Structure 1
Amino acid sequence: MTSRVSWSARLRYSFDKSMAGGTVALMGWLALVVLSLASAAGLFLALTHIGPAGSGPLDLRESLWQATMRAINAGPVAGDQGWSYRAVMLPVTLIGIVAFSALIGVLSAGVDAQIERLRKGRSKVLEQDHTIILNWSSSIFDVISELVVANQNQPRPRIVIMADKDKVEMEDEIAAMAPRLGRTRIICRRGAPTDLSDLGIVSPQQSKSVIILSPEGDEPDAQVIKTILALIHDPNRRTEPYRISAEIRDGANGDVARVVGGSEVQLVLADNLLSRIVVQTSRQLGLSAVFSELLDFEGCEFYSHPCPELHGETFGDAIQAFNTSALVGLSSRDGKVQLNPPMDTIITPDQTLVLIAEDDSAIVSSLTRSPQIDRSVIQQSRARPRPAERTLILGWNRRGPNIVTELSRYLSPGSRLVVAAKIPDLAGTLADVPLIGDGVVLETRVIDTCSKASLETLDIAACNSIIVLAHSDQLSAQAADTRTLITLLHLREMADRSGRHINIVSEMADIRNRELAAVTRADDFVVSNKLISLMLAQASENPHILAIFGDLLDEAGSEICLRPVGDYVSLDGPVTFFTIAEAARARGETAFGYCRPRDGAHGATNPGGVVVNPRKSEALDYRSGDRVIVLAVE
């Protein structure tokens, strides 16, 4: 049985619903109160013929006007004449003061609410050809800095950031950490990148590219994959494919991300990438500076460039056809890249050239064979024996197992690999880690790597090389780097005391600590966040870069090696890089730069004295200690 509801209850319910309309509804009710009061007073004045003393009665229109002015402005009531007229206008003025004050309060609250909404960053972005960054991590500042450089030639560069973080906090941190934005405008929005409605705020349909960072917190790879899924399968997505670059920490999750994203996603497998760079850097000191130079938008970059005039030429001959750029590989029509292919490989019409150049417009080929090759100074290749080594890994993080496996690939039979870290079950952690090298002995030691007494038990002087890993899994970036610095200081003091030079490569979590770490005189630093940021930024601008670095870091292909220049040419006088490139070509290698000690005259502005893609026709005096950068099979 339905109970009857009184009309007063229904009116109250209707009033409650109207009040739920927010600021506009409140303004409407207050305006209605003021106008109703003024209308009633004006009608009463007109009917009773009451008017100001000395002016006589007012008509209806004038009565309504006078009553309305008294309701919204208390000032004129003081000048009213005649007690009858005052008796009518005074209540109108008092009630009008209350109602109008409430109206001002509602307006103020509405403006405050709108400002707060804007502060929360929930308004839709109306931009075109912008770069979107989803999620927030310590890598974001390096990504922004690189995109600013990449977009210098764009008319209206825009970067839109969305993360589940306060908009003002994001803006403040960006202003502090990446202040040099030039003409680039940063737009921050708060939202969940895995939510379809929130993704619509940043207008991905009109974007140029999307970068998905690995977020801080639990299960970051799952969040990245869900974000890719939301972008790709959004019912309102555009028909053209997206250009998405995404960071995946665990390589095991890469296959799932590829299935979800298909050809629209380029994946940066962070842990696999960093593990290989750390290992290769420990074998080739100075390599991290080469990687940074190749990934940085300032200077030379990789380009995939068609060159019909070289079709039918061998790769080895085509190397010498470029003076201001460096040919390093070939790319097939399906996007597969082969760096440093066999020198007798014929360049076919379905292939493009992979070159290192300062700009796409600087790539100019000449089929005229260079006369600037001095074959008399070219040295013959000599095989170097690889003795057994003792390698020490200090510290531990999630990349440790990959580093152990990758490092064992390079060690000669009889080599010893010692892993020391403050991990209770370190031996159990490494029990299932595969060792690829034959005859490599793995040892584990549970010690505090910041304790000098503990380090003394490891026979540091007997080590050929040491890798110091950042404790980035358990500690913040700054705390992890502090422990790394303490370990490096102890190691350098112990090495100095032994009178031996020990190759020390350290992983740093924050690029800002690299200069501080220079006092430890470590041979090289791999800044993990910086390299991942560079790779993500490059992938968002260059669709071929991940295929290039995939082949570069593949154990089955060629890799970057830094070898003494004296192994290639004699150092008796000036030599052109054409000659060095020819000496490398005779060994099946591709030369594309050189490196000299940090106090060298050439390339002093580059980290580690690295010069990538030098002008081949320029003759330089190379010295003992200078190294040539080549692509070779290790």
Structure 2
Amino acid sequence: MSLDSESPSPSPSTGRDWFFPSPSFIHSSHHHLPRTPTRRFSTYPRARRPYDSDPKHSSFQTLSPPTDPKYAGIRRRVDFARRTQRSDHRHAVSPSNPQKFEVTSSLGNKSSGIGAFQLNKVRWRMAFLLPILITAFSSLLHKIFSYQNQIIDLQVSVSKARAIIVLAEDGNADQSDARALRTVLSLTGVKEGLRGHIVVELSDLDNEVLVKLVGGDLVETVVAHDVIGRLMIQCARQPGLAQIWEDILGFENCEFYIKRWPQLDGMQFEDALISFPDAIPCGIKAASYGGKIILNPDDSYVLQEADEVLVIAEDDDTYSPTTLPTVWRGNLPKDFIVPKSAERILFCGWRRDMEDMIMVLEAFLAPGSELWMFNDVPEKEREKKLIDGGLDINQLVNISLINREGNAVIRRHLESLPLESFDSILILADESVEDSAIQADSRSLATLLLIRDIQAKRLPYREAKIFQGHRASISQGSWIGEMQQASDKSVIISEILDPRTKNLLSMSKISDYVLSNELVSMALAMVAEDRQINDVLEELFAEEGNEMHIRRADLYLQDGEELSFYEVLLRARQRREIVIGYRLANAEKAVINPPGKNEKRRWSLEDVFVVIAEKE
């Protein structure tokens, strides 16, 4: 998908779809800056006046009264009319000519002879330096007035922009959100009014209410820290989901789009599902419900006039409905219910929204699950932080909290944990270093390597011997090979802030990952393009409603069965799910919105499908 670029025209107010207000805009005034009077100096020779020979009138005059401290460093100005007499003055000072010329300062002092000549040289140098200083000062004034005009132009751009993005700043979360609040206040006060909406990146969920209160209907918020925390939990429970989210949130593959199709009026949603060869319908923007977006509606829902269809497609102009194809529905395998089992999860590090992540896990996990929290925050202080954040530990039903104190980058501390017994491990960007992306990523990377090495050393002897048989294909004694084997036993999700760290993890293939800054930037861009998408993302990340799942193929088909994607799609509807893509057994990446949806292919039970379904 292509993003609109800025117009090359001189005025920034035309052709601009997105606008990023700078801090200077927040504090700027709507009025013009006061115009500073410019002192002008002439470098042209002055006609000699009749009274120049009068001792009362000096050839050197002060720029300002001697008492003015502003010009205390500049005392005299050279009379350029004396320039033509320089040669005569030099000849006048000689043994054969005892007559001496006089130079009178503005203070009435007199100098004579060679000393006066040296003083005159200094003053001549000042005369040539002054134009340079004047030129520099004029350039500075020009920049000031140009900057003033830029501020005025930016205010015009704000009023005409289709979307305004307010980015969070590094540092303290509350200070960053306070700056965002001031920005929203400034934007809502623009006298020309705003044509577009404001997308605000916040750092703390508790500050969202206040920003929405100030911005009203103009504002869409994306709470970066909260989104990443919820996404980490989803990806830890379903390996491979991080890559799928990168594909959907990015602008290089398929994204969400909403559009009105009058030819679909009166059609059931089940039929609309197979009406788009180049897109996959996921929901309806129902006009009868005030424009609310309904994800994964019932098959029996009938599209009404003014309803819009939410789809996943490559671009907003690459899809359209066609003639309804004939698709065989078929039957699901009999035993398709997947029972939820208790899980054991480890958190390494401490986040400021730890209480929110615990409540999300409480909603997702089955009864009897355990959450181990390993960090260097004292246990009593942890409990106080959780209570202050609004978590009632006594109300937890599905999970029990187990606290362990230690440093996640010290091996002997990590060795005290049963690392081989966890279903998933989340390495969090610790609160103490989250302001520095490099420091946080270095800590996360060190923790990851230590955990994988400890897990590899604790592998059962039989499995280690089996692994020795094919380890030569990697390299003899390869530590990466051992860690890759350990990664098959448990999932590790690392919260990564810097893209360069992502490349290291991608090459090693010893961990799934979540790239915080990139994913948040993608979400902000998508909401800037269409603010309605924010409601879709909020539901997919929330504890209730629908979310992304990765399902086994045996839930929908038999081993070796030949089915088209449309046929798999209709079978999944019997489970109230929407299949949006698949990942083959021998493939590294999933295919979202595949082409040739009506072409049959042979499926394997090792394949998996990506679906949108209600949370279990």
TM-score (norm 2): 0.72
Alignment match, 1:58: none
Give the drift of 1:565. 2.5
**Match of 1:226, as an amino acid?**
R
Give the drift of 1:420. 0.9
1:488–1:520 Cα contact (<8 Å) kept: no
Give the drift of 1:299. 1.8
Match of 1:216 among 146, 170, 175: 170
2 CA distance for matches of 1:398 and 1:450? 20
Q: Which secondary structure does the structure 1 equivalent of 2:267 belong to?
A: coil
Alignment match, 1:610: 590
Map 1:50-69 onto structure 2 (within 5 A).
none
Match of 1:478 among 422, 438, 457: 438
Match of 1:400 among 346, 351, 354: 354
Map 1:123-134 onto structure 2 (within 5 A).
123-124=147-148
Q: 1:230 and 1:75, CA in 2 relative to 1: closer, same or farther beyond 3 A?
A: same
Map 1:148-297 onto structure 2 (within 5 A).
203-218=157-172, 219-234=175-190, 237-297=191-251
Q: 1:384 and 1:205, CA in 2 relative to 1: closer, same or farther beyond 3 A?
A: closer
Q: 1:440 and 1:378, CA in 2 relative to 1: closer, same or farther beyond 3 A?
A: closer
Residues 394-416 of structure 1 show CA distances to partners (whole Å, capped at 9, x for unaligned) of: 11121322111111211111111
Residues 558-605 of structure 1 show CA distances to partners (whole Å, capped at 9, x for unaligned) of: 1110112332223415532112211112211111112346x62xxxxx
**Match of 2:183, as an amino acid?**
T
2 CA distance for matches of 1:573 and 1:125? 68
**Match of 1:526, as an amino acid?**
V
1:339–1:548 Cα contact (<8 Å) kept: yes
2:160–2:194 Cα contact (<8 Å) kept: no
Give the drift of 1:517. 2.5
Q: Which secondary structure does the structure 2 equivalent of 1:226 belong to?
A: helix
Match of 1:513 among 486, 501, 504: 501
Q: Which secondary structure does the structure 2 equivalent of 1:364 belong to?
A: coil
Give the drift of 1:77. 7.2
Residues 227-257 of structure 1 show CA distances to partners (whole Å, capped at 9, x for unaligned) of: 10111023xx323434211111221211111
1:417–1:441 Cα contact (<8 Å) kept: yes
TM-score (norm 1): 0.70
2 CA distance for matches of 1:417 and 1:409? 13
Alignment match, 1:495: 455
Match of 1:430 among 383, 386, 389: 386
Residues 491-535 of structure 1 show CA distances to partners (whole Å, capped at 9, x for unaligned) of: 212333335601211211212101212466444211111111111
Give the drift of 1:382. 0.9
The answer to whether the aligner puts 1:589 opposite 2:548 as a matched pair is: no
Q: 1:252 and 1:383, CA in 2 relative to 1: closer, same or farther beyond 3 A?
A: same
Q: Which secondary structure does the structure 2 equivalent of 1:430 belong to?
A: helix
1:503–1:522 Cα contact (<8 Å) kept: no
Q: Which secondary structure does the structure 1 equivalent of 2:364 belong to?
A: coil
Match of 1:362 among 318, 330, 346: 318
Match of 2:609 among 622, 625, 628: 628
Give the drift of 1:269. 1.6
Give the drift of 1:379. 3.9
**Match of 2:558, as an amino acid?**
S
Q: 1:21 and 1:495, CA in 2 relative to 1: closer, same or farther beyond 3 A?
A: closer
1 CA distance for matches of 2:145 and 2:602? 58
**Match of 2:49, as an amino acid?**
A
Give the drift of 1:430. 3.3
Alignment match, 2:403: 444
**Match of 1:205, as an amino acid?**
S
Residues 405-446 of structure 1 show CA distances to partners (whole Å, capped at 9, x for unaligned) of: 111211111111111111122243335524676242111111
1 CA distance for matches of 2:35 and 2:400? 74
1 CA distance for matches of 2:126 and 2:493? 69
Give the drift of 1:39. 4.2
2:273–2:280 Cα contact (<8 Å) kept: yes
Residues 305-346 of structure 1 show CA distances to partners (whole Å, capped at 9, x for unaligned) of: 001111111112210111101101111344422211122112
1:300–1:612 Cα contact (<8 Å) kept: yes
Q: 1:463 and 1:199, CA in 2 relative to 1: closer, same or farther beyond 3 A?
A: farther
Q: 1:495 and 1:198, CA in 2 relative to 1: closer, same or farther beyond 3 A?
A: farther
**Larger deviation, residues 565-574 vs 341-350:** 565-574
**Larger deviation, residues 222-231 vs 332-341:** 332-341
1:335–1:547 Cα contact (<8 Å) kept: no
Give the drift of 1:42. 11
1:281–1:287 Cα contact (<8 Å) kept: yes
Give the drift of 1:215. 1.6
Q: 1:434 and 1:507, CA in 2 relative to 1: closer, same or farther beyond 3 A?
A: farther
Match of 1:413 among 338, 353, 367: 367
2 CA distance for matches of 1:402 and 1:583? 36
1 CA distance for matches of 2:144 and 2:494? 40
Alignment match, 2:531: 543
Q: Which secondary structure does the structure 1 equivalent of 2:310 belong to?
A: strand
1:316–1:343 Cα contact (<8 Å) kept: yes
Alignment match, 1:457: 416
Q: Which secondary structure does the structure 1 equivalent of 2:258 belong to?
A: strand
1 CA distance for matches of 2:234 and 2:553? 19
* RMSD of aligned Cα (Å): 3.8
Percentage identity across paired residues of the two chains: 26
Map 1:55-134 onto structure 2 (within 5 A).
71=80, 102=126, 104-113=128-137, 123-124=147-148
Alignment match, 2:8: none
Alignment match, 1:560: 548
